[in-house]
Amino acid sequence: MSDRALGQENRAVERWLAWRYLATRQREGFVSFIAIFSLIGVALGVMTLIVVLSVMGGFRASLIGRLIGMNGHVVITTPGGLLETTPDLLAALRNVPGVKAVRLTLERQALASANGVTRGAQLRGVRAEDLLSRDIITKNVVHGELGAFDTRPGVVIGERLRQALNLNAGDKITIVTHALNDNGTIAPRYTDYEVLASFLTKRYEFDNTLVFMPLQMLQDDLDYDHKKVSSIDLELADPAAAPRIAEQIRKALGRNDLKIADWQTLNARFVGALEVEKVMMFIILTLIVLVAAMNVVASFTMLVRVKRGSIAILRTMGASPGTIVRAFFMSAAAVGLVGTAIGTALGLLVCANMATLARFLATLLGGAGAGSSEIDFITAAPARVQVGEVAAVIVIAILLSLGAAAYPAWRSTRVEPVEGLRHE
């Protein structure tokens, strides 16, 4: 018999032995029972890891989307407060690779008054095309409509502010700003606008204070030149590339009078906290898979002790230690690998139906509050499955499974034929 044929026969014998060790027998039934639950533990651990990481990823994406949804991925300002938007500057920004849109914004603090109620407000003068291109506004309009924006003196306000001022679409809202008189004194300026619509982003500082109005209208009311804005907001095709593109813009413009900041820098603490939470969650949930892997170690270590007689007989019949080691290793590793495959499939299945499950649980547990904004936020947050995270979970589960299989396999080589037969 050739060496190749002999090797194939040995591998077939090893696979047969591995399967026999996994099969339930009357004497070893308890050990096989533990092995089955070890497989279930690995599957549940992998499924939990994938589902929780995907759900947390969805929440992070939702939070970050709301964070930068009202601003740009890259924000350009000037220390003087007002930035002059020359055609050359705007053209240079549009030509930067990765920039999808260039938006102009003029911001001012003001008071909003109606029906005897006054609230602080953040005025934002924007162009109509810039407002209508923001999904966070257009997809969250709850009262009125945006169609009339920029065609008549109207504003779009946050829903909480609208409710606080007891306003409806078509009502008048008074915006109080300040103006500098010729003698140097500051005087209030009162201007009435029509309420066109309101939006509900479910973020307090936006819904409670923001007032959008046409950019040119705000510039005229404040006696500003039409080229003056507070900031230029850039929307990028890839938000993760914001730091690199911001540095690229700094080098391309070469202007020291401009402050160019990306959204990650502007929200460094918040983004850092989310990253720490992501890493810690991954480490903690990996312990679930580790515990399941320890069950594999325990069950197959017991199996080695139960199979001492069989191992001794195989050794006396000429089976090499390597054959015994590989048989036990494949048997133990199969539990972890099959558990990993089942857990991955279940995790992806749960993530694919997360919205349905979330609504069901919200209805079941939320009771009368199932329609509240807090519950809606939970059910609307998608499970964001990332290939890299799923691959990392699979790799870690496989490594832990193989590591758990190594010890019982090594223990099988410690069984001496004479000692094994003595106990039979």
Q: Could you read off the pLDDT of 302-349 as tens digits, one per residue? A: 666 666 656 556 556 655 655 666 666 677 777 778 888 898 999 888
Exposed, middle or buried by CB within 10 Å (0-12, 13-18, 19+), for 335? Answer: buried
Residue 410 has pLDDT above 70, yes or no: no
In a domain, 117, yes or no: yes
pLDDT in the model for residue 258: 85
Last residue of a domain, one of 169, 202, 229: 229
292 and 168 within one domain:
no
Q: How far apart are CA 351 and CA 52, in angstroms?
A: 9
Same domain, residue pair 14 and 152: no
pLDDT at site 304: 62
The total domain count for the chain is 2
Choose one of 229, 246, 280: the last residue of a domain: 229
Same domain? For 287 and 379 the reply is yes
Q: What is the pLDDT of residue 292?
A: 77
User: For the chain, what is the radius of gyration of the CA atoms?
Assistant: 33
Q: What is the pTM of this model?
A: 0.66
Judgement on whether residues 199 and 93 belong to the same structural domain of the protein: yes
- Look at residue 238 in the predicted model and tell me its pLDDT: 85
Q: Give the residue from 229, 260, 288 where a domain finishes.
A: 229
**Alpha-carbon distance 81 to 19, whole Å?**
74
Residue 124's pLDDT band, with cuts at 50, 70 and 90, is very high
Pairing state of beta strands 259-262 and 83-84? unpaired
H helix or E strand, kind and range, residue 121? strand 117-126
Q: Is residue 311 part of a domain?
A: yes
What is residue 149's DSSP assignment? T
Domain containing 296: what range? 3-64+271-422
Query: What pLDDT was estimated at residue 225?
Result: 86
pLDDT digits (tens, 9 = 90+) for 250-276: 888 878 888 888 888 888 787 788 888
Say if 252 falls within a structural domain.
Answer: no
pLDDT of 212: 93
- Asked whether residue 408 is assigned to any structural domain, the reply reads yes
- Residue 135 reports pLDDT greater than 90: no
Tens of pLDDT, residues 301-310? 666 666 665 6
Mean predicted confidence (pLDDT) in 92-115: 89
Residue 237 lies in a domain: no
User: Does the pLDDT value for residue 126 go beyond 50?
Assistant: yes
- Residues near 219 by beta carbon (within 8 Å), at least 6 away in sequence: 106, 125, 225, 226, 228
Residues 41, 104 within the same domain:
no
Residues 415 and 350 in one domain: yes
Do 357 and 350 touch, CB atoms closer than 8 A?
A: yes
- What is the predicted pLDDT for the residue at 319? 58
- What does residue 95 show for φ and ψ, rounded to 5 degrees? -85, -5
Residue of higher predicted confidence among 310 and 353: 353
- pLDDT on residue 6: 44
Indicate whether 259 belongs to any domain: no
Q: Using the predicted structure, report yes or no on whether residue 423 has a pLDDT greater than 80.
A: no
Using one digit for the tens of pLDDT, what is the confidence trace for 159-179? Answer: 999 999 999 888 899 988 887
